[in-house]
Structure 1
Amino acid sequence: MSRYTATFEALKERGEGAFVPFIMLADPSTEESIEIIAAVVEAGADALELGVPFSDPVADGPAIQKAHVRALDGGSTVAKCLEIVREIRSRYPDLPIGMLIYANVAFVRGVESFYREFADAGADSILLPDVPVREGRPFEAAAEAAGIDPIYIAPAKAHPRVLEGVAAHSKGYIYAISRDGVTGTERESSVEGLRDVVTNVQSYGGAPVLLGFGISTPEHVRDAIAAGAAGAISGSAITRIIDSHVVGEHPHPGRVRDMASLTEELASFVSAMKRATIKP
C-alpha cells in the first residue's frame, strides 16, 4: 500500500480530511528549511508538498516567487534539495512526500534520472505544474518506472476530456484548483465549482482530490472538505509567515531572525488548519 493510500484511508476512518502544507526547499537555507519542515509536520501536517527552487516559476504568485528567489540567493541546488528530502524521509518514514518541480529541471537532469533521484531520496509523487496531462506521457512513463506517482492539475473549468485524462493518469492524489490564476493572489479563495470538479473527476474513478491555490484560512479548509475534497494544500500563506521572519533581501542570502518564534507561528497556523479538516 502506498503512503498516500494508507494516509487517506486512515484519515477517512477518523472522519478527517488531509491538510498538506507547501514548503519551498532551502528557503532561506538548507539547515533552516529542515527545521521549518519538521515544525509543520510535528504540528499536524498529514503530508507534504515540497517545492524545488526555479528561476521562472510561472504558476506561482508573488509570495512563492519570492521564496524561489530567496532559496536561489542562498545557494540552493537540486542536489541540496535532494539532501533535504532524504533527511525528512529518514525522520518521517510513513509521511507522504510530494514534490512540485518545474519541467525544465527534469529536462536538464534527464527525465529518467530525474525521477530516479527523487525516488531514491524518498519522494512519493511529483507534480510538474507546467506540464498538462495531454503532454505528460514521457514524464509519466519515467515516473512510474521509478516508482513515483505522477500528479496532474484539474483546472476549475476544465473540459470533461481534460478531467478524464487527469483522473486516469494521476496517481496518489489529484491537485484541483477552484479558480484560474496563480498561487496566493489577493482574490478571496473560492470553492465555487469545486463540487462539480470533484464529482466529474470521481466519476472517472480518479484518485482523492486535494484543493489548492488560495487556501489560507481554516474556513477555506472547511469549505474544501464540505465540497467533497479529500483535503487541502496551503502554500502562499505559509510562505508569507516564513517571509515575515526572514532578514536579508535579494540579491543577498536571507536568514531566519528567530527560529523559535517562526516555528511557533507555523505550528499555530498548521494546527488551526488541521483542526478544520475534522468533519462535524
Structure 2
Amino acid sequence: MFKDIQDKELSEEEQKELNEIIKNELKNSLLLLGLLGGLGSKNRRGLGSLTITELTGVNIPADKEQLVKFLEEIKHYGILSESPADIIVKDGEQNAWTTLKTMSHDMQMFRGWGFSFNGGTHKINGYNAEHNSYFNKQNDHDLIYQFLDSPHQSSLPSSFAFGLPRNYGLSNGGHRVEIKFEPRAKTATGNIDKKHKRSRRASSVITHIHQFPNGHFLSIQTIMYGKLFPDNDEVVFSRKIGRHFQEQSTVNFQGYQSNIFDEYKKYLETKQWKLI
C-alpha cells in the first residue's frame, strides 16, 4: 500500500499531483522489473527472474504477442531521439530451467572460445566452438595471449564491452596460466581515484525468463547502451604468481570502441531470436 506524502509547504492540489507522479513512476518501475528484470546477484544471467502477474490500473501482457507489442511501445517513451536499449526475444522451452539453458548456450557460443583436448576441435559444453561468431573474435583471442608475451599492450579486446572484471585460465607452453583484467578509476589529473573505486562494470546485457499465465516461457535479452567507462579510467592486467595476482601493466580506456553488440544482435537472429 502506497502512503501519500504529506508536505506542509505544498498546497493540497500540489500534494495530490506529486503523489500521482510518484505512484506512476513506481508502477512503471515495478512493471519493467516484472517484464525484463529480476532479483539477486545473478539476475543479469536470467537467474532470479521475476514475472509480474497483477498491477492495479495496468493490463499485464498475457502472451508473447501482447508482451512484444507492449515492449515495442515502451522503447520509445521519453525525450530521447533514439531508444536507449534494444530488446531481443526467443520462444522458450517446456520449463524455466531449459529455457534458461538454451539462452545461456546461445550467449556462450557467441562469446566463448572453448577448450581443445589433445589438439582436437575446441568445444563448449560438448558443442563445437564457433570461432567466427563475430568479426574480431580471433583478434580478441590472440590479444589476450599477447598480454602474456608482452604485458604492455595499447588496445583491449572488443568483448570487454560485455563487462569487467574478466578472468582467464590459459594454456601456455603446457602450463595453465591465470590472468585477470579489471577496471580502475582515475582522476582527470591521472591519479588513482580512491573516492570512486569503479572496480566493476556490469554487462550491458540483462537477461530475463518470462512465464505467461498459460505456462509458456519467453527468453528476453535487453541491451542497454551507454559509455563503458570514463576515458580517464584504465584496465589493470594482472597475472597469478603463486597464490596471488600481481599487476603487470595497465591500458587506458581513452578511445575504446566496440561494435560487438551490433554483431551480437545479428548472431542471435540466426538462432531464432527476434529483435523488437
Alignment TM class, shorter chain as reference: under 0.3
| Bigger proportion of residues as helix | 1
Whichever of the two has the greater Rg, that structure is 2
